[in-house]
Amino acid sequence: MAFRRRAKSYPLFSQEFLIHNHADIGFCLVLCVLIALMFEATAKTAFLFILPQYNLSVPTADGELVHYRYGLKDLITILFYIFIAIILHMVLQDYVLDKINRRLHLSKVKHSKFNESGQLVAFHLTSMIWCLYVVVTEGYLSNPRSWWENYPHVSLSFQVKFFYLCQLAYWLHALPELYFQKVRKEEIPRHLRYISLYLMHIAGAYLLNLTRLGLILLLLQYFAEFLFHMARLFYFTDENNEKLFNAWAVVFVVTRLFTLTLSVLVIGFGLARVENQMFDLEKGNFNTLPSRMFVLSLVCLFQAWMMWHFIRFQLRRWREYRAEQSARQRAAALTKQQSKPIKRESGKCRGGVLRAGLCVAELGARGKGPGCPRVPSSAAALS
């Protein structure tokens, strides 16, 4: 029986120790919070990490209905679920993505992109199903007028608030993961760009009480991103498989159009017809003309920026495709030209064959016998 080789040990609290054991450290912290639930003295504090805060019970005919608001204590809950996201990230990386990478034998650049797309496919698929369940059960799809009616939507159901807290926790966990996963310096600006955009949009919808519109837009965005990263995964397994990129391109453009249309419908027209249009920070009312114009301009600006990058990406792919096609045509023409038999020109003279520019028959006419005798070495040298 062969002994398992020991893993390389690193000094305690060193940089390499933190990188290789960050998921275990996060698991220990989560375990401490769960153990604190077992004791009465610490259970109240432990619930701050696990459950959403600022709940309010509203009496109804069937009993009580619990609603939630947002506040500073949400940061504690988000911190706890950041560690949960770090643990799930490492579990998916170790038990799924690394095993697939060993079979594919990808290069370092493709290896990092495969890991990124693998993580985001799992997240976008989970969030898309969860978001669809929330908007259906809350009745937001069946009643689109509820997206702006009775604004501000300060009171949130448990599943809506918990969804937003988990979304913020995931995108915040992606920042330290850039360090833990040793992302290359050239790739860090791109990662920071889309992480910041997600955090800005999700936090803006949560804090400005536009959670209903935010859920619909997130559902559209996550569906488009899921297709994109699935296309990347299929491309890494087989570089000839690019059909899913075409489907993503269509969905991406449609998503941008729907995002602009719904944003103008809800913010530009729906909220403009709401009676209460007064800025009130305590009540969470931000329904004023400057606020609506600012939010709507930001949405339009980001959508235009994303479309610009998409057009540049498609033009670059088209140029690369044309260059590849022209290179293949040139190579095929060159191969066809080389495959043709080369015709050697042969000259004839009376009574003999022209060799080395001299008529052998004429040189050997005075020799013995008929025909063209062998050319002397001196004549060959002269030619």
Task: Tell me which DSSP letter residue 144 carries.
Answer: G
The answer to whether residues 190 and 168 touch, using CB atoms and an 8 Å cutoff, is: no
Whole-angstrom Cα distance, residue 118 to residue 240?
Answer: 19
Walk along the chain (383 residues) and give the pLDDT tens digit of each residue.
443 444 567 777 778 888 888 999 999 999 999 999 999 999 999 999 999 999 988 777 777 888 999 999 999 999 999 999 999 999 999 999 999 988 888 888 888 899 999 999 999 999 999 999 999 999 999 999 999 998 989 999 999 999 999 999 999 999 999 999 888 899 999 999 999 999 999 999 999 999 999 999 999 999 999 999 999 999 888 877 778 888 999 999 999 999 999 999 999 999 998 888 888 888 889 999 999 999 999 999 999 999 999 999 889 888 887 888 888 888 888 888 887 655 554 444 444 444 444 444 444 444 444 444 443 433 333 33
CA nearest neighbour of 148 among 54, 214, 71, 65: 214
Q: How many CB atoms lie within 10 A of CB 178?
A: 15
CA nearest neighbour of 137 among 158, 120, 123, 117: 158
As given in the structure block, the two tokens for residue 67 are 């609603």
Those residues with Cβ within 8 angstroms of residue 134's Cβ, 6 or more apart along the chain or in another chain: 159, 160, 163, 215
Task: Tell me which DSSP letter residue 6 carries.
Answer: P
Element (H, E) at 68: strand 64-68
Whole-angstrom Cα distance, residue 104 to residue 115?
Answer: 12
End-to-end CA distance of the chain: 81
The answer to whether residues 218 and 131 touch, using CB atoms and an 8 Å cutoff, is: yes
